Amino acid sequence: MAEFKCSKCGAKVEMRCKPKKCTACGEAEVMVKQEEKKASGCGCRCSCK
C-alpha cells in the first residue's frame, strides 16, 4: 500500500490507488504520493542493508 497526503489540509491516508478526493476536506486532485521509507537495515548483523 502507498501513503498519500493532501496538499491542502495535510491529511494522510493509506490506499492502493491514488484517491480522487481528500477523505478529510473533500478537495479534488490534491492527493500526493509520499515517498516510501527505506529501511537502513534490521539492526542485526545480517546483510539486509
1-49 confidence digits (pLDDT tens): 899 999 999 999 999 999 999 999 999 999 999 987 655 556 666 666 5
Each domain of the chain, given as residue ranges in start order, spans 2-27
Q: What integer pLDDT is reported at residue 8 of this predicted model?
A: 97
3-state secondary structure string across the chain = CEEEEECCCCCEEEECCCCCECCCCCCECCEEECCCCCCCCCCCCCCCC
Q: What integer pLDDT is reported at residue 42 of this predicted model?
A: 65
Q: What integer pLDDT is reported at residue 27 of this predicted model?
A: 97
Q: What integer pLDDT is reported at residue 36 of this predicted model?
A: 72
Instruction: Answer yes or no: are the C-beta atoms of 14 and 3 closer than 8 Å.
Output: yes
Q: What integer pLDDT is reported at residue 41 of this predicted model?
A: 58
pTM for the structure as a whole: 0.69
